[in-house]
Copies of this chain bind each other. A is one copy, B any other.
Amino acid sequence: MAQRLSAQAPDFEARFTELLSSKREVSEDVDHIVRDILEDVRKRGDAAVLEYTAKFDRLTVSSMEELRVSEEEIAAALQQVPQATIDALELARERIHAHHARQMPKDDRYTDPIGVELGSIWTAVEAVGLYVPGGLASYPSSVLMNAVPAKVAGVERIAMVVPSPDGVLNPQVLAAAHIAGVTEIYRVGGAQAVAALAYGTQTIAPVSKIVGPGNAFVAAAKRRVFGTVGIDMIAGPSEVLVIADSSANPEWIAADLLAQAEHDEVAQSILITDSADLANAVEVAVEGQLKTLPKADIAGASWRDFGAIIVVDDIEAAMPLSNRIAPEHLELAVADSEVLLKKVRNAGAVFIGAHTPEAIGDYVGGSNHVLPTARSARFSSGLSVLDFVKRTSILKCTADNLRQIGPSAVVLGEAEGLSGHARSVAIRLNL
């Protein structure tokens, strides 16, 4: 059973601080292994990728061409996936596309009051690598959430890598790739896949940015290639904070807490409520639902070890706590959710009202499910079109403009001891 905190208790601040700092990362020290793999792939290219794929995925082929997923395989995968799943993925793609299209930033070029032209021009990243995990955590929804914003941004080339342990690929993942318009797919995973994308090999052209979730090896590899290429965030275990008052249905809230908990034994589900009755009822409902949940072992461990119920006097007192937690997912299951929404400062995504379970956002809501974990919503945002574009700033002065503002640049250049800077302006002004 999850721990219970009361905002009235004298030790509340101490316990809440402890909850905030609870270490949920499983830190595996794989960095030295990853360093060697990266270096080897950088030097030997395809040959190294083939060797690591044989070693780690028990998949032996004679050439990289065989690791590229063929059109026939994609067509076969589509046949294997039930039509209801295809339809659901199509709906998801369409809704994700529509929402993300609104995020596309607009170029801004203008002339300021003294006549200087300034601006910001946005361009898409030219080539993006998309990592998709193999095995159990190989989720088709994750393919859509990463690939669709890249497509909306105008990325010309998306190279997808997905390991196929013992040669097995999840057909749903290939179906999702097809639906998202991704055609360049390699059956490669781990640090060797990240290296191939970052440095390029004889067969795989290098990309400029790598996105997508992965295990400890993938995360360590992404950290190491950062700088050579861009990366998205390094995702930690998932988490949800539900703020609910007495209007909430305890069975629904329990289901939401368990939906998060089933991801991982180190996932975290927290309920904050002003109703002790709801707190008790949710506690009972969680135990009841665990009895029939297929992933009860995982969800039960997460709830027991990292779950928490916090009872506050007044529901508005939940918001400062929520902003300190900076949850990845925040559900506002209260009678007047708009009042609380105005006070949200740090949260990856907010799910409003009784009929918006977080899982809707995981699949078909339209917003992105790649969100900042581990309190990083204090300083970062979920994945969006902005992750696949970059801004070039523009400056254009006439001779008149330079006469007007140039002398100040000369003053500052000299003040900073950068006479060459000063001279590059002064020489144009005959100063």
Contacts and interface: CB of A to CB of B under 8 A. Distances in A.
Interface stretch (A108-116, A160-168, A178-186): A108-116
A108 B385 CA distance: 14
Contacts of A88: 408-409, 411-412, 415
A362 B421 contact: yes
Interface of A: 82, 84-85, 87-89, 91-92, 95, 98-99, 102-103, 108, 110, 112, 116-118, 120-121, 123, 125-126, 136, 139-141, 172, 208-209, 227, 229-230, 234, 251-252, 255-256, 258-259, 261-263, 289, 293-295, 299, 337, 341, 344-368, 371-372, 374, 376-382, 384, 386, 390-399, 401-402, 405-406, 408-409, 411-413, 415-425, 427-428
Given A230-B376, A390-B379, A427-B255, A361 B395 contact: yes
B423 A289 contact: yes
A97 to B, nearest CB: 12
B352 A140 contact: no
A378 B208 contact: yes
Given A255-B424, A391-B382, A374 B406 contact: no
A112 B140 contact: no
Given A117-B352, A359-B422, A379-B125, A364 B408 contact: yes
A398 B337 CA distance: 13
12 contacts: A95-B405, A121-B350, A172-B416, A209-B378, A230-B376, A252-B424, A255-B420, A255-B427, A258-B424, A344-B392, A355-B398, A356-B395
A337 B392 CA distance: 15
A87 B349 contact: no
A294 B414 CA distance: 11
Contacts of A346: 123, 126, 390
A368 B381 contact: no
A183 B310 CA distance: 37
The 9 closest A-B pairs by CB, nearest first: A230-B379, A88-B408, A352-B396, A262-B420, A381-B391, A255-B424, A359-B421, A367-B393, A208-B378
Nearest to A251: B427
Contact of A293 (B209, B261, B413, B419): B419
A396 B355 CA distance: 8
Contact of A85 (B256, B337, B412, B427): B412
Given A121-B344, A356-B397, A357-B425, A172 B415 contact: yes
Nearest to A423: B255
Nearest to A358: B424
Given A255-B420, A364-B412, A408-B364, A352 B428 contact: no
Given A255-B424, A381-B390, A396 B356 contact: yes
